[in-house]
Amino acid sequence: MLRVSLAVVALLLVTLAGCDAADSDAPLAGATSATSESIPSRTAPPVPPVLSATDLGEIAQLPIIRGRDGAISALINGRSVWTFGDTPLNGPNVEGWNWVDNSLSWTSDLDASDGISFEGNYVDAVGAPAEIVPFLPREQQYNEAHAGENCEEEPCGAEIAFWPGDLIPDPARNRVLMAYYELWRIPGQEGWRSIGNGFAVWDEGMSPGSVRRPIQNPGSQTPMLMWERDEIAYTNATLVEDDMLYAYGCKRVVILHRCRVARVPLADVLDKSAWQYFAGNGVWSANPDDAVRVFDGGSAGTSVFYVPHYRGYMAIYNPAFDNMVRYRVSRTPWGPWSEPEALFEMRPPQGTFGNYSAHAHPEFAEADGRVQYVTYAHTTGFLQQELPLVRVEFGELPE
């Protein structure tokens, strides 16, 4: 049974978890006025040149998988673990559906020079991908009451769904944090409604079936979510430095995604009051309204990571309606960031839908980070996608 429409896939090009409705513009970090946003930073580091970008083919996946997007990964206990969003299937899962809202795979082979093939997948009893983010009892009851041809409540087909994002290892506390986006939609109808964003938790052992959703915002209508639907959610990209989580929150302005950055000790991620927001000029504020824009990121997420060879940070993403993957560099997670440069052009889009969801996978990096591996979602047919893998080699910094 089919659970989504083609319109859902189209909308992925412009909006994903953590990037909701448009908001007013905000100045770049350190800017003294909104007009200064057009002035390139004078203190951003030099940008390493791209020497080559080689398409290595598609990531090998289970035959039952028809398509996947998201494709965000992290190194956890020696394995590269990947989260995915909507996952259409070539056959029915254990419940008789040919669709799951999220899925998980992993590999311990960290040599990507000959491609990537997943050795492990979180699957159900018939070997189809299983959903990794758990439902609360009331959410499960809602989906069951609206599901199938004999649904009990209108509108029939309505569902609550989850799209997972970044995985954040926290070995000091024997856990992994998983960013996720919760939404409501009616498959077959255009669009969806945001519910909010939060963090799920794997505790010690990290069995895929043991993910839980703790309380993060007590007293709110959605206590298991850190951010409600109208708030900027800091889940567009994440990185950890010295037991401190830096997380980027983006809001859409027309087709641009204006990104801010926040920080919180890893031990206190689930305590919303512990978060601080970069307000520019070296200032961190407890007030999220003080956050300033540090760069424009990707429409379906961004990758930000440290590159040891350059002793700095890199952001990789693809903007909405742009078939070019782009990158920026900075000396710190909060900037100032360089102007964007072209990383590589993606495969020609097929049909109505463009490419999207470009992400780097730095756990596969080579040569102290001078070689990086990047994937993106390439639509090849109706509810069908492949994940091309591109090896990018950077050169030395210009003098």
Q: Is the backbone of residue 30 left (phi > 0), alpha (psi -120 to 50) or beta?
A: left
* pLDDT of amino acid 396: 95
Let me know: does 76 contact 103? Beta carbons within 8 Å.
Answer: no
CA dist 304 and 241 (Å) reads 12
- The per-residue pLDDT string of the chain (399 residues; one tens digit each, 9 = 90 and over) reads 444 433 344 334 333 433 443 444 555 554 332 222 333 346 899 999 999 999 999 999 999 999 999 999 999 999 999 999 999 999 999 999 999 999 999 999 999 999 999 999 999 999 999 999 999 999 999 999 998 888 999 999 999 999 999 999 999 999 999 999 999 999 777 778 999 999 999 986 667 778 999 999 998 989 999 999 999 999 999 999 999 999 999 988 777 889 999 999 999 999 999 999 999 999 999 999 999 999 999 988 999 999 999 999 999 999 988 899 999 999 999 999 999 999 999 999 887 778 999 999 999 999 999 999 999 999 998 889 999 999 999 999 987
For the chain, what are the domain ranges? 6-394
Say how many residues make up the chain.
Answer: 399
CA dist 291 and 261 (Å) reads 7
CA dist 237 and 18 (Å) reads 9
Closest alpha carbon to 157 in 4, 23, 300: 4
Let me know: does 165 contact 182? Beta carbons within 8 Å.
Answer: no
Amino acid symbol at 61: Q
Greatest distance between any 2 Cα atoms in the chain: 68
For residue 42, with 0-12 CB atoms within 10 Å meaning exposed, 13-18 middle and 19 or more buried, which class applies? exposed
Closest alpha carbon to 74 in 376, 361, 388: 361
* pLDDT of amino acid 25: 52
Structure-token pair, residue 177? 């944090």
316 Cβ partners below 8 Å, 6+ apart?
302, 303, 325, 326, 327, 343, 358, 359, 360, 372, 374
Closest alpha carbon to 388 in 167, 341, 380, 131: 380
* pLDDT of amino acid 39: 34
CA dist 347 and 345 (Å) reads 7
For residue 24, with 0-12 CB atoms within 10 Å meaning exposed, 13-18 middle and 19 or more buried, which class applies? exposed
Structure-token pair, residue 276? 């601080």
**Facing residues of 3 across strands?**
none
Pick the CATH number of 6-394 from 3.40.33, 3.30.1330, 2.115.10, 1.10.10: 2.115.10
SS (H, E, C) 336-349: CECCCEEEEECCCC
CA–CA distance from 131 to each of 99, 161, 209, 213, 269 (Å)? Answer: 10, 10, 9, 14, 24
Which residue's structure tokens are 């448009």?
A: 22
Which residue's structure tokens are 């020497």?
A: 51
Let me know: does 199 contact 215? Beta carbons within 8 Å.
Answer: no
